[in-house]
A and B are shown apart, each in its own frame.
Chain A
């Protein structure tokens, strides 16, 4: 097999003493949640890029797609729509790192992302319920999986294809992929973008409803 990737994709290891000031992650992962189609390419890419053995497996991914819950519960139920469960790169130190009894977290100097040092991790799983977003995962062999942002070029974002302008609830978003690696302001501006007038599929729908064009046009 050629070109085996590294297990963790980081630019280096920056360790901080407990209580030290740690800079926050500037560019995080964001998702246009109601655009997700459950294609799973992000899960496949994440697992593949982190596997030295060239093995892909969604159960080794640090991003997970699940059915959107149709009740107010984190447990996935078969509601319509899908949710990309992404690491939100909480303010440093994140809750997962704070509860770690053996201080097994270091930080990528380029991105300031908290990363689990697998050689120090004792797999106590305290970080799992500590995560407010349920995005610290446990691999089938017990390893704890947390997003490392791939050293600043997240594979999931690269793998995410663009969705067309309008989702089916009639809400309009501009043409965009589901996943973004951006700062908060940039992502908000994506959310607030209106499509170009001529691309407005909603305009078509409005014309249909006003009878300006017939359904068989």
Chain B
């Protein structure tokens, strides 16, 4: 029997209540992400779903799945779920570290925060008790400073203190503000930090000396030992242990999958940044880890200033080693060519607490306009309130932009704080000129710094991901890595899913992988153990015994896939209630119509395959092709009849 507790916090009244989460909720929603979604769905049955996401009517849900911290060695990921202030649609984001499992030791698996505190507060949870504390001394501080102060204040008893914090960007209601876990890992996407800031919630701090109950400990230990052996036997994973996702830098450079200068190109320039040898040159300190992880892909660096001519400016700076998207947003979108500066970008965006994807694409959009003389020096001065060079790769420029955005101190920040789509639209309207073809974005207006035009599944991901353009819902691994073995396995021996030159089985791949990813996010573990594929396993098969050993819930792989599909459908239902239809499953002009000019797949555009792939995605999902809406029969088959009723009442269900 799954024993789990939820903490409800009403910041307006200060009321807090602990509830037991019924076992049936885990049977329906698996846990983690799945239960978060349900908690938000329930909230918006009683509150206006069309509310301003920065208003007290929005909800902020934190959750951690049942496998997190149980010795699965698959990492722990906390999940935040909310209505996105930047995209105006379903929002969620994950991050690891130690905070997520400490919440479990403190006695809760989920936290639901509603309302707005009258003044800045932090939520302090300790061994089943919760209290709202004054955060006026923390307000205005960086995420790192806030974390350190809370650790000092709360000490090491009954356990170390772990935190979720927002930076000044969240305080200033910047739409792209994220939430930082333990000062070093960010829930970046969708503006969760803005939601916390709008509630005057600066941080959540936890301490816990309780335990987590596991249904069958011996079974879990046995599963864990087998998983560890598979990880240890996999040669490719040793590379990942050394460098994390930074390994994608060379791979993408080879095939042409980077996002260079606002995606005008797809290869990094600059000798240094085209390789991950940085890992050996700069990466001088310890390897570190999220909790409960056999891979331990993270690392910490400290610059001594001698690593490069530009490193001298950052001597003494220390942080987590950059990952791929930190690199793509700096060395790619903004053409920063020095690794010390890439690392500095990573540190700043974390300290201020902002999504590096939307931030970099907002800046790179303007840099391209300037490069092409579409805006003048005077226009730039108007945007920034000072003269600004807006030069590619100029870290001083970029640092000023980061500060502007976080403090929301000029027109640039006002226009672009919800990301590049809204920024480009607002700026175009203001100037009476159409600059939209230079903006890079997908669904919801979210951006993503990878070259995806040669990859029809990825373009589909950008158009359909429930939380806005993103690959971490329907990760197009089968196609990008041309995995014939997975295509054959999942599609009855067919290989088309692995052929990126044709549209066949691309929408199907998105649908399949979205279901699998939903499971991983609901188990509460990291995606990369599955993504790295140590033994050709799948989340619904390999993790199935672990799920049962931990929760006592018996499941077949087919049932788990249906659970994953159910979870995805609830996310879709949320967006349907907001009025999203097929026409919102869309991507920007550049991705759709402008061909790639370099890399291994020149001449690629999304338009060639976009519509048939989208059609196929809807077909595999069982959604109406014209409207994109869900159908009752499929909803009933998934046990979502109650959800279908809500949709039907609002005209958000496909007509029979």
Decide whether A and B are members of one complex. yes
Give chain A's interface residues, CB within 8 Å of chain B: 1-5, 34-35, 37-41, 44-45, 47-49, 51, 53-60, 68, 80-82, 140, 155, 158-159, 161-170, 175, 177, 201, 204-205, 208, 214-217
Q: Complex: how many Å from CA A167 to CA B286?
A: 8
* A4-B217, A5-B218, A80-B286 known; A216 vs B300 contact (CB < 8 Å): no
Of B73, B220, B275, B287, which contacts A168 at CB under 8 A?
Answer: B287
List the A residue with the shortest CB-CB distance to B70: A56
- Known A37-B287, A37-B296, A38-B288; further 12 A-B contacts with Cβ < 8 A: A1-B217, A1-B552, A34-B286, A39-B294, A41-B224, A44-B71, A47-B211, A56-B212, A68-B286, A158-B228, A159-B224, A214-B271
Chain B nearest Cβ from A213, distance in angstroms: 9
Q: Complex: how many Å from CA A162 to CA B235?
A: 11
Say yes or no: A57 contacts B212, CB within 8 Å. yes
Chain A nearest Cβ from B276, distance in angstroms: 10
Contact indicator per residue, chain B 196-219, by CB within 8 Å of chain A (1) or not (0):
000000000000011111111111
Q: Complex: how many Å from CA A154 to CA B281?
A: 37
Could you show 5 A-B contacts with beta carbons less than 8 Å apart?
A39-B296, A51-B217, A55-B212, A159-B224, A201-B280
* A37-B287, A161-B232, A208-B281 known; A48 vs B214 contact (CB < 8 Å): yes
Say yes or no: B209 contacts A161, CB within 8 Å. no
Say yes or no: B275 contacts A217, CB within 8 Å. yes
Nearest 4 pairs of A and B residues by beta carbon: A57-B211, A161-B294, A37-B296, A55-B211
Say yes or no: A204 contacts B293, CB within 8 Å. no
List the A residue with the shortest CB-CB distance to B270: A216
Chain B nearest Cβ from A50, distance in angstroms: 10
* B491 adjacent to chain A (CB < 8 Å): no
* A39-B291, A49-B221, A159-B225 known; A140 vs B286 contact (CB < 8 Å): no
Say yes or no: B217 contacts A216, CB within 8 Å. no
Say yes or no: B212 contacts A161, CB within 8 Å. no
Q: Complex: how many Å from CA A164 to CA B240?
A: 9
* B493 adjacent to chain A (CB < 8 Å): no
Say yes or no: B216 contacts A54, CB within 8 Å. yes
* B159 adjacent to chain A (CB < 8 Å): yes
- Which chain B residues lie closer than 8 Å to A214 at the CB level? 271
Q: Complex: how many Å from CA A49 to CA B231?
A: 22
Say yes or no: A167 contacts B287, CB within 8 Å. yes
Of A3, A35, A208, which contacts B217 at CB under 8 A?
Answer: A3
List the B residue with the shortest CB-CB distance to A50: B217
Say yes or no: B286 contacts A204, CB within 8 Å. no
Chain B nearest Cβ from A5, distance in angstroms: 6
* B105 adjacent to chain A (CB < 8 Å): yes
Say yes or no: B238 contacts A3, CB within 8 Å. no
Q: Complex: how many Å from CA A68 to CA B294?
A: 20
- Which chain A residues lie closer than 8 Å to B272 at the CB level? 215-216
Size bracket of the B interface: 35 or more
Say yes or no: A55 contacts B271, CB within 8 Å. no
* B292 adjacent to chain A (CB < 8 Å): yes
* A155-B221, A214-B271 known; A56 vs B285 contact (CB < 8 Å): no
* B313 adjacent to chain A (CB < 8 Å): no
Q: Complex: how many Å from CA A165 to CA B286?
A: 14
- Which chain B residues lie closer than 8 Å to A5 at the CB level? 217-218
Which of A2, A3, A34, A41 gathers the greatest number of chain B CB atoms within 10 Å?
Answer: A41
Chain A nearest Cβ from B225, distance in angstroms: 5
- Which chain A residues lie closer than 8 Å to B32 at the CB level? none
Say yes or no: A3 contacts B219, CB within 8 Å. yes
Chain A nearest Cβ from B277, distance in angstroms: 5
Of B225, B280, B286, B552, which contacts A82 at CB under 8 A?
Answer: B286
- Which chain A residues lie closer than 8 Å to B219 at the CB level? 2-3
Chain A nearest Cβ from B240, distance in angstroms: 9
Say yes or no: A53 contacts B288, CB within 8 Å. no
Q: Complex: how many Å from CA A48 to CA B70?
A: 9
* B158 adjacent to chain A (CB < 8 Å): yes
Q: Complex: how many Å from CA A123 to CA B491?
A: 62
- Which chain B residues lie closer than 8 Å to A56 at the CB level? 69-71, 211-212, 214, 217
Of A54, A168, A205, which contacts B299 at CB under 8 A?
Answer: A168
Q: Complex: how many Å from CA A214 to CA B215?
A: 53
Say yes or no: B218 contacts A3, CB within 8 Å. yes
List the B residue with the shortest CB-CB distance to A76: B156
Q: Which of B276-306 contact A (CB under 8 A)?
A: 277-278, 280-281, 283-296, 298-300, 302
- Which chain A residues lie closer than 8 Å to B187 at the CB level? none
* A37-B289, A57-B210, A57-B211 known; A2 vs B296 contact (CB < 8 Å): no
- Which chain A residues lie closer than 8 Å to B215 at the CB level? 1-2, 54
- Which chain B residues lie closer than 8 Å to A37 at the CB level? 286-289, 293, 296, 298
Say yes or no: B217 contacts A175, CB within 8 Å. no
Q: Which of B366-409 contact A (CB under 8 A)?
A: none
* B274 adjacent to chain A (CB < 8 Å): yes
Q: Complex: how many Å from CA A53 to CA B159?
A: 21
Say yes or no: A41 contacts B71, CB within 8 Å. yes
- Which chain A residues lie closer than 8 Å to B210 at the CB level? 57
* B242 adjacent to chain A (CB < 8 Å): yes
Say yes or no: B71 contacts A208, CB within 8 Å. no
- Which chain B residues lie closer than 8 Å to A204 at the CB level? 277, 280
Which of A54, A59, A81, A164 gathers the greatest number of chain B CB atoms within 10 Å?
Answer: A54
Say yes or no: B217 contacts A168, CB within 8 Å. no
Chain A nearest Cβ from B289, distance in angstroms: 4
* A80-B300, A164-B241, A175-B238 known; A40 vs B214 contact (CB < 8 Å): no
Say yes or no: A168 contacts B238, CB within 8 Å. no
Q: Complex: how many Å from CA A86 to CA B274?
A: 42
Say yes or no: B281 contacts A215, CB within 8 Å. yes
Say yes or no: B221 contacts A164, CB within 8 Å. no
Of B98, B211, B281, B298, which contacts A51 at CB under 8 A?
Answer: B211
Q: Complex: how many Å from CA A3 to CA B552?
A: 13
Say yes or no: B217 contacts A81, CB within 8 Å. no
